[in-house]
A and B are shown apart, each in its own frame.
Chain A
Amino acid sequence: MKMVMAVIKPHKLDDVREALTSVGVAGLTAGEVKGFGRQRGHTEIYRGAEYIVSFVPKVKIEVVVADNQVEAALEAIQKSAQTGQIGDGKIFVYDVASAVRIRTGETGDQAL
């Protein structure tokens, strides 16, 4: 099992969800986060005063998939979250030691 964690543009969340569903991913967790990368921040001007906003709002999604699904999930996210503009985000993949479905107690791939 692998954890696919991606930081994406907030308005791309629905597209990513759709793309992942279409390659057989059964669930994901999303949260609103802030961060910076090459996009850095921006300045906002209120009453003539500049405010530096150094963190950009993003959405972080976490999906755990079976090993044989990883490539498809990566491709789905990469394609659906892409705008071609700076700030599209990043995807990280790491190993998952175990998984348990709380309702039934199923473990491993069965729990996904």
Chain B
Amino acid sequence: MVRATSLALTAGAVSLFAAAPATANEINSGDTAWIIVATALVLFMTLPGLALFYAGLVRAGSVLSVLMQCVMIACVASVLWMVIGYSLAFGDSVGGWIGGLNKMFFDGVGTDSVSGTIPEITFAMFQMTFAIITPALIVGAYPERMKFSAILAFSAAWLLLVYAPVAHWIWGGGWMAELGVRDFAGGIVVHATAGVSALLLAKMLGARKDFPNHLRPPHNPGMTATGAAMLWVGWFGFNGGSQLAADGGAGMAIAVTHISAATAAITWSAIEWMKFGKPSLVGAVTGVIAGLATITPASGFVGPIGALIIGVLAGGVCFYMVGIVKNQFKIDDSLDVFAVHGVGGILGTLLLAPLAATSLGGGGQADGVSMMDQLGVQALCVVVVIVWSLVVSYVIIKVTQGLFGLRVDPEDENTGLDLPSHGERGYEL
């Protein structure tokens, strides 16, 4: 049984990397049906999952601004993805660095073109939902103080200049794919890029006025738990869909995803219980997200025991990173994008090398690749992507600052952004 699973996982990994160039393969209706469903599940992660998850954590006066940011980033990313983003990530490679412009406006991505065993339009839309959630994750770095115009400008530029190239390097047949990097569903492409960019943006934007000692508590933890539950469900599409097939590999990806989420939540809660005397709901669901982000790159390569180990480490490491970012770095990455997503994604990207071991139920290493070789490639790619994300994000933030300014008026920050930025209120109090 383990052997059968390993075979399926290995086959799945190959199909992911080979997905971009259209092949002469025939369309498989089972695979296509699953990816269409997975596309809906991943969109559901952002709208409304991530939006609610974040919105519950801010003050009552800024709840709508966070929802609005998630909605509009989703819309802008969708249009940009169709116009040029998909082509930059999955167009014909220019030297392994960036996709060409041949697929702008989804040119040639019709009902008949095939990607792997699914229609390319299905692949392009599935990838679009990843391009939506990645910039939306960064919303957690800057709530309650960043100008809406600056948010839109930053997110749009970031999608095309940070996300699309990295997606090409790893998933679009670029140079990291050539090196043999393993990133099943986006530990590097999604979580590392968003996490480190969020940390930098939070640092350059500056902390909320009352950070760190006079902040108001999350206004609606129930909303946060609702959003986290939706993210959890949607993540089955995120990781399971990344198999790009309806097979055992997708089934195993969903299994390990679920085990990691549950284990990380138990770990996070246990630490809180011991440390503070009470296990909190916000803590438990944050642990869920840490477990999901951390298993993401590994979900096509590890087995259930690997998932258990990843879950424990995700809950523990991310818990302590939240405190380190806020207390040692003194950076107001308000909703812990870096500590949970960035650190989790990087952790999972590195852990997948040892935990792919067949003795732990994993799919094993790629042919002719030792565990240490794989770990080296993983580490190299993580470092390069971190540097790329920081440098390019820095330039984008500086240009955005010059064009629009980054911060809202201090008095608007006091009020909460709903009325000053959007002219409406979440609650009639």
List residues of chain A with CB under 8 Å of any chain B CB: 44-49, 51-53
Contacts and interface: CB of A to CB of B under 8 A. Distances in A.
Interface in B251-295: 272, 275-276, 278, 280, 282-283, 286
B276 A49 contact: no
A49 B215 contact: yes
Contacts of A47: 282-283, 286, 322, 336
Interface residues of B, number: 22
Nearest to A45: B276
B48 interface: no
Contacts of B221: 46
B167 to A, nearest CB: 30
Contacts of A45: 272, 276, 278, 280
Interface string B204-218: 000000001111111
A48 B282 contact: no
A46 B283 CA distance: 7
A49 B212 contact: yes
Contacts of B278: 45
Contacts of B217: 44, 46, 51, 53
A45 B221 CA distance: 12
Contacts of B44: none
Interface string B333-355: 00010000000000000000000
B323 interface: yes
Contacts of A53: 217
A51 to B, nearest CB: 4
Contacts of B275: 48
**Most chain B Cβ neighbours within 10 Å, of A44, A46, A52, A53:** A46
Given A45-B278, A46-B282, A49-B323, 18 more contacts: A44-B217, A45-B276, A45-B280, A46-B57, A46-B217, A46-B218, A46-B221, A46-B283, A47-B286, A47-B322, A47-B336, A48-B275, A48-B322, A48-B326, A51-B215, A51-B216, A52-B213, A52-B214
B81 to A, nearest CB: 32
A47 B280 CA distance: 9
Contact of B323 (A44, A48, A52): A48
A53 B272 CA distance: 20
A48 B319 contact: yes
5 contacts: A46-B280, A48-B322, A49-B212, A51-B217, A52-B213
A51 B210 CA distance: 11
**Most chain B Cβ neighbours within 10 Å, of A45, A48, A51, A53:** A48
Nearest to B335: A47
Contacts of B215: 49, 51
Nearest to B268: A47
Contacts of B286: 47
A69 to B, nearest CB: 34
A48 to B, nearest CB: 5
Interface string B305-344: 0000000000000010011001000000000100000000
Interface in B174-224: 212-218, 221
Nearest to B320: A48
Nearest to B326: A49
Contacts of B272: 45, 48
Contacts of B322: 47-49
Contacts of A46: 57, 217-218, 221, 280, 282-283
Interface string B222-253: 00000000000000000000000000000000
Contacts of B57: 46
A48 B217 CA distance: 12
Contacts of B214: 52
Nearest to A53: B217
A25 B286 CA distance: 50
A53 B216 CA distance: 8
A52 to B, nearest CB: 8
